[in-house]
């Protein structure tokens, strides 16, 4: 059971837009802590995809965007490509646990 | 930036294991470093954090009292001493650097990741 809740899977056809939600509570996202996103391609280590809600590290395509509101955040992928097929994790900080926490992960499938 | 974990393997429940993470390509002594684990087919779980100078250490409740994080800045190496291992500790353990120098803030994200080392706890 993860502190942050993500849908287990989302899918879309090439070129479509998909969104991944990340729902927290008043002790993490709702407390004002930033949300970060990681992409994990099959068989590899996670890689930073978005930091501080809506900032893309160098090299991440602008097809990826992030937002945060209240106790939730979301990651959007526009112009979905085959190479985007991966697991995506949101992450924040929880004051009650005094720990960095992750969502359970969302598997993105390109149809 | 390179982080190379080692020391994983198969161990019986209740036994101990020490993981290492050799860092290169950056000034290791300037950065805080984490251990993050991932059980087979499962999500990510933060395990522990050590500050750049080793003065501050933080642990997840699930490992507190059993795991010890440490570092040797003269060797650019991070360690995780794991005692009283349980079956649920089975996971790939990743060494992850903080994104900025100095003490790691709770607002921060995880920076560069190593490729991980698999620990299997089984009788």
CA-nearest of A72, A94, A107, A103 to A5 is A103
State the pLDDT confidence band at B103, using cuts at 50, 70 and 90: confident
What count of CB pairs under 8 Å joins A to B?
55
CA-nearest of A92, A36, A110 to A66 is A36
Q: What is the model's pLDDT at position A39?
A: 98
pLDDT at A38 over 90: yes
Q: Which of B43, B46, B115 sits opposite A100 (nearest CB)?
A: B46
Q: Which of A46, A91, A99 sits opposite B113 (nearest CB)?
A: A46
For B7-21, what is the mean pLDDT? Answer: 98
- Least CA distance to B111: which residue of chain A? A48
Q: What is the model's pLDDT at position A80?
A: 97
Q: How far apart are CA A61 and CA A26, in angstroms?
A: 31
pLDDT at A46 over 90: yes
Q: How far apart are CA A12 and CA A19, in angstroms?
A: 10
Q: What is the model's pLDDT at position A15?
A: 96
Q: What is the model's pLDDT at position B44?
A: 98
CA-nearest of B105, B72, B78, B109 to B93 is B78
Q: Which residues pair with B92 in a beta bridge?
A: B38, B118
Q: Which two tokens stand for residue B88?
A: 């649920």
State the pLDDT confidence band at B102, using cuts at 50, 70 and 90: confident
Give the distance from residue B109's alpha carbon to the nearest chain A alpha carbon, in angstroms.
Answer: 6
Give the distance from residue A45's alpha carbon to the nearest chain B alpha carbon, in angstroms.
Answer: 5
- Pairing verdict, β B9-11 and B31-38: unpaired
pLDDT tens-digit series, residues A2-17: 999 999 999 999 999 9
């Amino acid at each position: 059971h993860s502190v942050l809740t993500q849908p287990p899977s989302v899918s879309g056809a090439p070129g479509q837009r998909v969104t991944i939600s990340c729902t927290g509570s008043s002790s993490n996202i709702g407390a004002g802590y930033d949300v970060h996103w990681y992409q994990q391609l099959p068989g590899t280590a996670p890689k930073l995809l978005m930091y501080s809600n809506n900032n893309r590290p160098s090299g991440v395509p602008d097809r990826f965007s992030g937002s945060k509101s209240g106790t939730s955040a979301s990651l959007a992928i526009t112009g979905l490509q085959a190479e985007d097929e991966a697991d995506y994790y949101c992450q924040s900080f929880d004051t009650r646990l005094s720990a960095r926490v992750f969502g359970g992960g969302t598997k993105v499938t390109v149809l | 930036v390179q982080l190379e974990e080692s020391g994983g393997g198969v161990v019986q429940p209740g036994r101990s294991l020490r993981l290492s993470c050799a860092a290169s390509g950056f000034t290791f002594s300037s950065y805080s470093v984490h251990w993050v684990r991932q059980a087979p087919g499962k999500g990510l779980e933060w395990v522990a954090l050590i500050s750049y100078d080793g003065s501050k250490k933080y642990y997840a409740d699930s490992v507190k009292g059993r795991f010890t994080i440490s570092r040797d800045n003269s060797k650019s190496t991070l360690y995780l001493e794991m005692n009283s291992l349980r079956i649920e500790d089975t996971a790939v353990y990743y060494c992850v650097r903080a994104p900025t120098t100095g003490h790691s803030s709770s607002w921060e994200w995880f920076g560069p990741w190593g490729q991980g080392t698999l620990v299997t706890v089984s009788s």
